[in-house]
């Protein structure tokens, strides 16, 4: 009996946290601008191969918390840019550390680099300590975003549907949304990017890769990137 309870709890957990998936949502075919997000866990990535397969953009893990920097960030950033992909950096937000110091970690890691996309703040309960109030988390996220803005960097908030309900809705909606959902997204969500799978298979990446879409056609995409680059550089 305990085994069945454990399985049920696990299934509930991955659904709520956005760490599980079954089939590709049907509406994915409605969007043409495709992207991936990667970190050092994806190993050596052939970005030229990704570009040949129609990938338009890549978000690369840069930092986490106040002092962690992904050891492949700089090389991944450089190679992705050389392959002609639009490049952004993502930061995994830690609930129990200063938003100001997390912003400094991002700023220091971006020195000398010119991203095409806003800094993504990855905001989710996964691996974060529990017992920290929503107000406290939101306050630190806003602090981080404010510091980045002073350095000319815009932000987009990445989260799943649980994080949307807890942290984003009615609190952080002034920032664009990058939503993780393994089902078709309901109209109530006003999203900029959509992460629809953690299990993509692409040539040039030895391991499963996160798959993403932009909410707009090619014309909208080109205008969006130009506007971001103009504002942040």
pLDDT digits (tens, 9 = 90+) for 32-53: 999 999 999 999 999 999 999 9
pLDDT digits (tens, 9 = 90+) for 64-115: 999 999 999 999 999 999 999 999 999 999 999 999 999 999 999 999 999 9
Within a domain: 19: no
pLDDT of residue 21: 60
pLDDT of residue 75: 98
**173/4 Cα distance (integer angstroms):** 39
pTM: 0.90
**49/194 Cα distance (integer angstroms):** 22
| Paired sense of beta strands 209-214 and 34-38, if any | antiparallel
Within a domain: 11: no
Tell me the CATH number at 79.
Answer: 3.20.20.80
Within a domain: 12: no
Within a domain: 8: no
Buried b (16+ CB within 10 A) or exposed e, 51-86: beeebbbbbbbbbbbeebebebbeebbebbbebebb
- At how many degrees (to 10) do helices 99-110 and 134-150 cross? 40
- Looking at the 3D structure of the chain, how many domains does it have? 1
Within a domain: 160: yes
Domain span including residue 208:
32-232
pLDDT of residue 22: 61
CA triple 54-216-180, angle to 5 deg: 80
Within a domain: 13: no
Within a domain: 3: no
The lowest-confidence range among 8-12, 58-62, 130-134 is 8-12
Within a domain: 14: no
pLDDT of residue 233: 66
């Amino acid at each position: 009996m305990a085994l069945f309870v454990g399985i049920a709890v696990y299934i509930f957990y991955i659904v709520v946290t956005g760490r599980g998936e079954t089939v590709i949502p049907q509406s994915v075919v409605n969007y043409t601008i495709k992207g991936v997000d990667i970190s050092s866990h994806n190993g050596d990535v052939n970005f030229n191969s990704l570009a040949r397969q129609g990938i338009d953009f890549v978000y690369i893990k840069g930092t986490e918390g106040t002092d962690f920097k992904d050891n492949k960030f700089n090389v991944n950033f450089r190679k992705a840019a050389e392959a002609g992909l639009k490049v952004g950096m993502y930061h995994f937000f830690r609930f129990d550390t200063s938003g100001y110091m997390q912003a400094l970690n991002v700023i220091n890691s971006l020195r000398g680099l010119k991203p095409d996309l806003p800094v993504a703040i990855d905001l989710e309960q996964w691996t974060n300590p529990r017992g920290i109030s929503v107000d406290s988390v939101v306050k630190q996220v806003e602090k981080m975003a404010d510091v980045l803005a002073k350095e000319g960097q815009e932000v987009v908030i990445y989260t799943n549907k649980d994080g949307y309900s807890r942290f984003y809705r009615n609190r952080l909606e002034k920032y664009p949304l990058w939503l993780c959902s393994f089902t078709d997204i309901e109209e109530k969500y006003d999203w900029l990017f959509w992460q629809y799978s953690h299990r993509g298979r692409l040539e040039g990446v030895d391991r499963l890769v996160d798959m993403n879409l932009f909410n707009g056609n090619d014309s909208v995409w080109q205008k969006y990137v130009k506007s971001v680059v103009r504002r942040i550089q």
